Structure 1
Amino acid sequence: MASVLSYESLVHAVAGAVGSVTAMTVFFPLDTARLRLQVDEKRKSKTTHMVLLEIIKEEGLLAPYRGWLPVISSLCCSNFVYFYTFNSLKAVWVKGQRSTTGKDLVVGFVAGVVNVLLTTPLWVVNTRLKLQGAKFRNEDIVPTNYKGIIDAFHQIIRDEGVLALWNGTFPSLLLVFNPAIQFMFYEGLKRQLLKKRVQFGRHRLNPENRTLGSLRNVLYLLRQRVKRFGIMGLYKGLEAKLLQTVLTAALMFLVYEKLTAATFTIMGLKRAAHKH
């Protein structure tokens, strides 16, 4: 229990949250481009930079950052939960022993499941807020009028029921291997680099206002998309997503490592001063 409630786990959680918020803020326009490419089916521009230029021209210079606050709020909470759970479980399981790739994968998977179950409502709300006010060519998208995060929660619960906040939970659970594998490689590479005495600086399926509560619904939507747009319809926004994922993960892990290292150094200095 002490390992779960340790100060070290809190430091890792805060550093992970700060790192993810920093990285997402820098590369947020890529996420905007990815979401528009996936949702706005009638948009003619197909590349990331052309979509961003189109958005800026039609909706203003700050349009690529529309929905930044709810996304950052959700991401901060999500990564705090993930990093805290990951490091707490790892501390309990490893208990001073050497960690392994297999253990990292299992711990990352469990942390991902906990994260999805706790933070899916935040992601449902932030996706809707991110799309609100955007100019679409797709008439199927119903405009919303949310005044903020709290109002969005209120309207969704009132109009669709509380379970609507967990729309997309099942496909999100299918995707928890994504961060788990990411952490597995990260921890493995980190151990190898530390062995050589080298200092080493970490979709969500978007609901599109549809209920995806079972594997049948997921497969149905995949079949419909392939039928309507062909097999390549499944890969809309891939370029933007790859750019965002790689660059965001690199910057997040960099900030995370530097922040945890600095915090533990300060803690060590304080302990040393107290002992003397």
Structure 2
Amino acid sequence: MSNAVANGLAGAGGGIIAQIITYPLQTVNTRQQTERVAKQSSASSKRLGTLLQILQVIRTDGWGGLYSGLKPSLLGTAASQGVYYYFYQVFKNKAEAIATARKAKGRGDGTIGMFSWLTVAALAGSLNVLLTIPIWVLVTRMQTHTQAERKIMEERKEALLREASEIGLTGSEFQDKLAELDSIKPRPYGTLQAVHEVYTEAGITGFWKGIVPTLIMVCNPAIQFMIYEGSLKRLREKRATSKQGKKSITALEVFLLGALAKLGATVTTYPLLVVKSRLQAKQEIGGNVSLRYSGTFDAILKMIQYEGLPSFYKGMSTKIVQSVFAASVLFMVKEEFVKVYMMLEDKCNKVLFSSAK
């Protein structure tokens, strides 16, 4: 098995573990990003902390609400991390071969520069996005379904109030209609329902909604890996010249480097993530035109017009905690998986070599 395949499998395994651990935070964060609040009401609206929002989801949707969309999310994580790390390693091997060839010709020191790291990560990220974005569209729909259903119900109740004032409904008639609305429960919503809804709304292209900001966001892992690989390289160089005899990088050190890298990448690209989530969530929420987006630029303009610049940073504190912790776990688990693979491969080679004798 090549090191690209080994890194792909290790990345998929690490991504699944990190996703399961941090999924409730991801669900809450997606709801925070897609919550529409007008400028005039945003200042007076009460913003709940992340923990209180988790408790609110449990109260309204049960424990299952925190894990809505987990199955396709795990599939998406395995596919995304597997695809990303596979192509990342393929392009990294190519970049290292080019750097070695340049050194042989007397140009460079044989190491990969920062621009090359960015290029490698961007190419791997772009391929990952194009191949796996339909899965994440479905995950976003499933995470925000009950939130969208509540918005629709609020619109219906407001319409009923307007109707009552305009045509003069009696108290009993109004209460009967209100009770009828309250009796409506959210429809069962699974992966197949999400697929049908997306296709009904926008056809096959609906599964690639948010592709523009998502492609731009390949700079997130590019920045992440530039920081991570650069920091890891410096740490290894420092260890190589250390007189204390400690050469290997520990799992804790990889965890901390992964956290630092993801923190820098998340803060830089968060507004794009909010726009992506808005585009992938259910668009037909009542009749308010400010809640529907026809594309990336339409979403950006309407968010600025109706909600102001702070809307681009909704839920960022939750995202920082979730993504930094998830990335740290992913990097740590991935590196340990690769170490185990390399150790097993070395043992197999020794056994084959001794049997050949």
Shorter-chain TM-score category?
0.7 to 0.9
- 1:230 and 2:308 are equivalent in the alignment: yes
Which piece of structure 1 moves more, 137-146 or 54-63? 137-146
- 1:250 and 2:328 are equivalent in the alignment: yes
Structure 2 distance, partners of 1:210, 1:91, is: 43
Structure 2 distance, partners of 1:129, 1:75, is: 15
Partner of 1:13: 8
Residues 67 and 131, structure 1, Cα contact 8 Å, conserved in 2: no
Unaligned segments of structure 1, at least 5 residues: 1-5
Partner of 1:36: 31
What is the identity, as a one-letter code, of the residue corresponding to 1:252? L
Residues 88 and 124, structure 2, Cα contact 8 Å, conserved in 1: yes
Structure 1 distance, partners of 2:187, 2:227, is: 40
1:199 counterpart SS class: coil
Match of 1:110 among 123, 127, 134: 123
What is the identity, as a one-letter code, of the residue corresponding to 2:330? M
Quote the sequence identity (%). 26
Shift of 1:220: 2.6
Residues 71 and 127, structure 1, Cα contact 8 Å, conserved in 2: no
Q: 1:197-245 CA deviation, whole Å, 9 max, x = no partner?
A: 241435482112359xxxx932331221122222212211111111111
Residues 167 and 210, structure 1, Cα contact 8 Å, conserved in 2: no
Structure 2 distance, partners of 1:172, 1:140, is: 31
Structure 1 residues 273, 252: closer, same or farther in 2, change over 3 A? Answer: same
Residues 105 and 181, structure 1, Cα contact 8 Å, conserved in 2: yes
Partner of 1:73: 75
Structure 2 distance, partners of 1:233, 1:135, is: 18
- 1:194 and 2:207 are equivalent in the alignment: no
Structure 1 distance, partners of 2:76, 2:56, is: 27
Residues 56 and 64, structure 1, Cα contact 8 Å, conserved in 2: yes
What is the identity, as a one-letter code, of the residue corresponding to 2:57? I
Residues 145 and 282, structure 2, Cα contact 8 Å, conserved in 1: no
- 1:209 and 2:282 are equivalent in the alignment: yes
Structure 1 residues 170, 154: closer, same or farther in 2, change over 3 A? Answer: same
Q: 1:128-179 CA deviation, whole Å, 9 max, x = no partner?
A: 1222345754239997765425x64455446532111111111111111001
Match of 1:180 among 222, 226, 230: 222
Aligned residues: 266
Partner of 1:88: 90
Structure 1 residues 199, 131: closer, same or farther in 2, change over 3 A? Answer: same
Partner of 2:191: 148
Structure 1 distance, partners of 2:231, 2:347, is: 28
Structure 1 distance, partners of 2:121, 2:73, is: 22
Partner of 1:3: none
1:255 counterpart SS class: helix
Which piece of structure 1 moves more, 42-51 or 173-182? 42-51
Match of 1:170 among 204, 212, 234: 212
Residues 40 and 137, structure 1, Cα contact 8 Å, conserved in 2: no
Match of 1:265 among 338, 343, 347: 343
Which piece of structure 1 moves more, 138-147 or 216-225? 138-147
- 1:138 and 2:151 are equivalent in the alignment: yes
Structure 1 distance, partners of 2:46, 2:149, is: 11
What is the identity, as a one-letter code, of the residue corresponding to 1:222? I
RMSD between superposed Cα atoms in Å: 2.6
Shift of 1:106: 0.7
Shift of 1:13: 0.3
Structure 2 distance, partners of 1:73, 1:254, is: 21
Structure 1 residues 132, 249: closer, same or farther in 2, change over 3 A? Answer: same
Answer with 1 or 2: which has the greater Rg.
Answer: 2
Structure 1 residues 144, 59: closer, same or farther in 2, change over 3 A? Answer: closer
Structure 2 distance, partners of 1:182, 1:159, is: 35
